[in-house]
Structure 1
Amino acid sequence: MPTPGPQPPALQSPGALAVWATGCGSPEPPFPHPEARLVVAGDQKGLSGGELRDHIDRAAEALTRLRPGPLFCGMRNNLASVLRYLAAWRSGRPIALLDPDLPVGALADLAGRFQPAAVLGFTHAADGSSPRAPRAPRPPSHRDAGHPPEPHPDLAVLLATSGSTGNPRLVRLSRRAVLANAAAIVTALSIEPAEIVPTSLPLHYSYGLSVLNSHLMAGATVVLTEAGLLERSFWTHLDAHRCTSLAAVPYQYEMLRRLRYDRAEHPALATFTQAGGRLSEELVKEFAAHADRFFIMYGQTEATARIAVLPPDRLADKPGSAGLAVPGGRLAIDEGEVVYHGPNVMMGYAETAADLARGDDLGGVLRTGDLGRLDPEGFLHITGRLKRIAKIFGVRVNLDDVERLLPASGPAAATSGDDRVTVWTEGLDAAGCAGLARRLGAELRVHWSGFDVRSVDRLPLLANGKIDYRALESHA
């Protein structure tokens, strides 16, 4: 089992982290920072310094008794999950951070493919168990003979790519990629040790994990809460702990507007950040007025979360822009596709345990699958998608998976919009459309309001008989 190198005791400034993120600094910055603090919502004391280090060390010691291989963690927004994650980091063991509420069949499929050393923290599996569920036999190329090879020594974190749909591949993130992106975000957002941020997003989601990583690296405070933004307890704890920053996806900002968010009621909250899809310019202006700083960001799990940041002082003159590449990164456009170069790019995808032994397949170059352009100042503007992938409230959804769930009684199609999937079907009345939206939400485990189901007399077709998606998107 690989062990991390010595960590320097000196505290790291945003400037020093910026140098390290560009590949010029050595050794790696301490993670977590010696002054970082974890606080369970409602508990003012929290863990920091030597006490936090001791908790991590004890959890890491327990991991050494497991056989080699990845750890599967049902990653909740609680102290046990975060300590497990940091213990895996400390011990050099790769850890897959997954939705803790994965259905037993989906978890069994992942466990069968990746053969984890342990399965911990899941709702539908006892800790340490190997979940079992009936599944179709795999082709011979997917069968493991004996024990799989040990994971690559650079491998640190595994995240699922496809949200709640299908059988996800796992994104292989190296230790350097995680640290580089955290350092870049500390620099781009000027995160100081005085910052206090709540876990407003799931920690198995790359954006939520990035918030945790960047604040731990900066020596800031993270308030761990499993309450959602629509729950009164979330705001009670946010105010009690005097949280200074809030991260959210577009859907959450829409909900805050409906709740008539009033800054005067939360005087300590000075910074908003947003990623996970395009936020309307109207909402950008509204919430920029509610904060001292509002950062718009663009990213992908394959880049350890964040690729570009739009500084608050450019919101007005760069409307709709995703911003500039994060420190240490570079953006390019190749035949219309956004290509990102940087140390935070994944090592590659993994389909089975054997893939975990692979090295870096991409060499720091990520073809994002998004269409875009760079303006003369290098600011990125996203104009569309190459692939049929949508985001509903920050969760990736494959539109082909959506269509496979649609009724077989007639033609139907799915197209993507801003934080929504539009489903086009023939012959349904209003009640039928509403019922289909709720069924899709239940099947794909995202809120049903993310599906806009519309009935049309006839779906437009191309000359070859296939659905004309461009025609549908023009009427969305």
Structure 2
Amino acid sequence: MTSTIPAAVTRAAATFGPAPALGPLSYGSLLGEVRRVARALIAGGLRPGDRLALWAPNSPEWVLTALGVGYAGGTLVPVNTRFTGVEALDVLQRSDARGLVVVGPFLRADRLAAVTAVAAEEGVALPRLVVSIPDGWDEFLASGDAVPESEADARAAAVSPDDVADILFTSGTTGRSKGVMSAHRQSLAVATAWAEIAGLGPDDRYLVVNPFFNSFGLKAGILSCLVSGATIVPQKVFDVPRTMESIGAERITVLPGPPTLYTSLMDHPEAGRHDLSSLRLAVTGAATVPPALVERMREELGAEVLTAYGLTEAVVATMCRPGDDAKIVAETCGRSAAGFEVRIGEPDGEVLLRGPNTMLGYLDDPEATAAAIDADGWLHTGDVGRLDEHGYLTITDRLKDMYICGGFNVYPAEVERVLARLPQVAEAAVIGVPDERLGEVGRAFVVCRPGQSLTGAEVIEFCRGRLAGYKVPRGVELRAELPHNASGKVLKYLLRAEAADA
């Protein structure tokens, strides 16, 4: 197996040659386009080891930029497209990004304008290299004409398997984002493991709806295609009619996503008008999957259905295998994959992982790294689970105070810190409550300061300007007080019980 991303790009060109890679590009021509991006980055001042932030939705330019960064010897720092300018600037500053590739106006938001305004307010400078796509893309590529191909190839050849390939920012139990560092060998190893279990090959056409900024979209998406020769078909946002149309028109064979993606497809009134017969594989996770849904997916979509478990710090840790029955697929996350050992810790039942593809650590945070990975190399996931006699893992609870909204992790502490900035708020607590469409959504319980008042709409509007949309609470309850224990900690289990009773 190749152990650096530049080597994987070169190998794909030699191995898969004329097979379609991305849009009109074959794997043979993909190498040339990745090299062009690398040359442009070098011309823009990117040095070996420098970090490049990429803030854009799924697109061919995203793929080329991500692979081009590695080819130029740099490190990729994806930025969540749902982030506000405040959140994006935080990632830029903490990663010390030397460049930024950012989408132009998209989904009624101008991200470059937003982060520029926040930077001006805080008196900080953006990176010297800023590329807007698609408007500035051609000019950016042309700037690399002055850099010889041999210089880019030399950069690619100098990349080491242990160099940091990517830094993906996630959140911890405190809600403060942490940059998860992975080496080239690790990113490729998990991608290869996923591709092998899924049986990916040059005949597959993979519709990547999972965001590229997420570890799944990047590693089980882009990189899994790169190592297997499957075609990458990016989709910017999940839109049911567009997805159904793409499956038929592009003859899509592989479609991973959260359970809500599949229910939205099958329940859509136009579902019967589209040809979905090309699908052979659906991979899901990130939420409970009812056995009836697995059976329905197999029957109505005609696809093999697998479930998997992972986290940014490990990407893919367990996965079901083709042929597993519906009960196993629905009730477990599969058995160990990508070289991971899995065990259940005592006495709290926490899921522990150990293997060569566990993250290198958190960026500039040795204390958090030591707390996450113990002296024996076990990664403490914060999830509670059990293993059956065949090694299949079932997640039963979460130690972390976290919920999943539409496939995205939301950490209440982060939302609560934003609510604390409201002058009228004395105290706030956020929990996840069930939602038919998104799995879970946030509900905020807010106590106002004496003599102050707020409405739920005002609270939500305040959050919208400071948090990504999936983090914004969908409901607000104003309370005179919140339940506490003797040490003053809010008893969230009581709030959850109240919400369940309601």
User: What's the counterpart of residue 358 of structure 2?
Assistant: 345
Q: Structure 1 residues 321, 153: closer, same or farther in 2, change over 3 A?
A: closer
Shift of 1:107: 2.8
Q: Structure 1 residues 134, 6: closer, same or farther in 2, change over 3 A?
A: closer
Q: Which has the higher helix share?
A: 2
Shift of 1:229: 2.7
Q: Pick from 105, 115, 120: which aligns with 2:96?
A: 115
Shift of 1:307: 1.2
Q: Pick from 440, 443, 450: which aligns with 1:423?
A: 443
Shift of 1:466: 3.0
Question: Contact 2:446–2:476 at 8 Å: present in 1 too?
Answer: no
Letter in 1 for 2:185: R
Q: Which moved more, 1:360-369 or 1:316-325?
A: 360-369
CA distance in 2 between partners of 1:133 and 1:151 (Å): 37
Q: Structure 1 residues 117, 130: closer, same or farther in 2, change over 3 A?
A: farther
User: What's the counterpart of residue 382 of structure 1?
Assistant: 395
Question: Contact 2:6–2:67 at 8 Å: present in 1 too?
Answer: no
Q: Structure 1 residues 107, 450: closer, same or farther in 2, change over 3 A?
A: closer
Shift of 1:296: 0.9
After TM superposition, list the pairs within 5 Å mapping 1:201-280 onto structure 2: 201-209=210-218, 210-230=220-240, 232-259=241-268, 261-262=271-272, 265-280=275-290
Q: Structure 1 residues 31, 362: closer, same or farther in 2, change over 3 A?
A: farther
User: What's the counterpart of residue 192 of structure 2?
Assistant: 183
Matched, 1:470 2:451: no
After TM superposition, list the pairs within 5 Å mapping 1:227-376 onto structure 2: 227-230=237-240, 232-259=241-268, 261-262=271-272, 265-290=275-300, 291-303=302-314, 305-318=315-328, 319-335=330-346, 336-351=349-364, 365-376=378-389
Letter in 2 for 1:49: Y
Any idea what SS the aligned residue of 2:112 has? coil
Matched, 1:414 2:447: no
Question: Contact 2:316–2:337 at 8 Å: present in 1 too?
Answer: yes
Q: Percent identity?
A: 26
Matched, 1:132 2:132: no
Question: Contact 1:369–1:387 at 8 Å: present in 2 too?
Answer: yes
CA distance in 2 between partners of 1:379 and 1:340 (Å): 14
Letter in 2 for 1:85: A
Matched, 1:52 2:30: yes
Any idea what SS the aligned residue of 1:344 has? coil
CA distance in 2 between partners of 1:349 and 1:458 (Å): 37
Question: Contact 2:12–2:27 at 8 Å: present in 1 too?
Answer: no
CA distance in 1 between partners of 2:167 and 2:495 (Å): 36
CA distance in 2 between partners of 1:420 and 1:6 (Å): 39
Q: Structure 1 residues 449, 158: closer, same or farther in 2, change over 3 A?
A: closer
Q: Pick from 31, 38, 56: which aligns with 2:21?
A: 38
Shift of 1:409: 4.8
Letter in 1 for 2:351: V
Write out per-residue CA displacement over residues 31-86 of structure 1, whole angstroms, 9 at most, x where no aligned residue: 5784263333xxxxx11132111111121122233243111112431111211111
Any idea what SS the aligned residue of 1:314 has? coil
Shift of 1:453: 4.5
Write out per-residue CA displacement over residues 202-225 of structure 1, whole angstroms, 9 at most, x where no aligned residue: 110112112221122110111123
Letter in 2 for 1:367: H
Write out per-residue CA displacement over residues 180-233 of structure 1, whole angstroms, 9 at most, x where no aligned residue: 101110111111221101121211011211222112211011112324233x33
Question: Contact 1:412–1:423 at 8 Å: present in 2 too?
Answer: no
Question: Contact 1:392–1:446 at 8 Å: present in 2 too?
Answer: no
Structure 1 spans left out of the alignment, 5+ residues: 10-28, 41-45, 138-149
Q: Structure 1 residues 189, 450: closer, same or farther in 2, change over 3 A?
A: farther
Q: Structure 1 residues 378, 415: closer, same or farther in 2, change over 3 A?
A: same
Write out per-residue CA displacement over residues 132-161 of structure 1, whole angstroms, 9 at most, x where no aligned residue: 244499xxxxxxxxxxxx999610011110
Any idea what SS the aligned residue of 1:64 has? helix
CA distance in 1 between partners of 2:486 and 2:94 (Å): 41
Shift of 1:402: 2.2
CA distance in 1 between partners of 2:273 and 2:386 (Å): 35
Q: Structure 1 residues 73, 452: closer, same or farther in 2, change over 3 A?
A: same
CA distance in 2 between partners of 1:222 and 1:397 (Å): 28
Q: Structure 1 residues 382, 6: closer, same or farther in 2, change over 3 A?
A: closer
CA distance in 1 between partners of 2:13 and 2:352 (Å): 30
Letter in 1 for 2:432: S
Shift of 1:345: 1.3
Question: Contact 2:385–2:394 at 8 Å: present in 1 too?
Answer: yes
Letter in 1 for 2:401: R
Q: Structure 1 residues 456, 265: closer, same or farther in 2, change over 3 A?
A: farther
Q: Structure 1 residues 4, 328: closer, same or farther in 2, change over 3 A?
A: closer
Q: Structure 1 residues 270, 331: closer, same or farther in 2, change over 3 A?
A: same
CA distance in 2 between partners of 1:369 and 1:133 (Å): 38
Shift of 1:262: 4.5
- Give the TM-score normalised by the residue count of structure 1: 0.77
CA distance in 1 between partners of 2:475 and 2:259 (Å): 16
Matched, 1:61 2:30: no
Q: Which moved more, 1:259-268 or 1:88-97?
A: 259-268
CA distance in 2 between partners of 1:457 and 1:96 (Å): 43
Question: Contact 1:412–1:424 at 8 Å: present in 2 too?
Answer: yes
Shift of 1:344: 2.0
Shift of 1:456: 7.1
Question: Contact 1:4–1:91 at 8 Å: present in 2 too?
Answer: no
Shift of 1:437: 5.5
Question: Contact 1:100–1:121 at 8 Å: present in 2 too?
Answer: no
Q: Which moved more, 1:440-449 or 1:329-338?
A: 440-449
Shift of 1:471: 2.6
Aligned length: 428
CA distance in 2 between partners of 1:362 and 1:236 (Å): 50
Letter in 1 for 2:26: S
Shift of 1:435: 6.7
User: What's the counterpart of residue 19 of structure 1?
Assistant: none
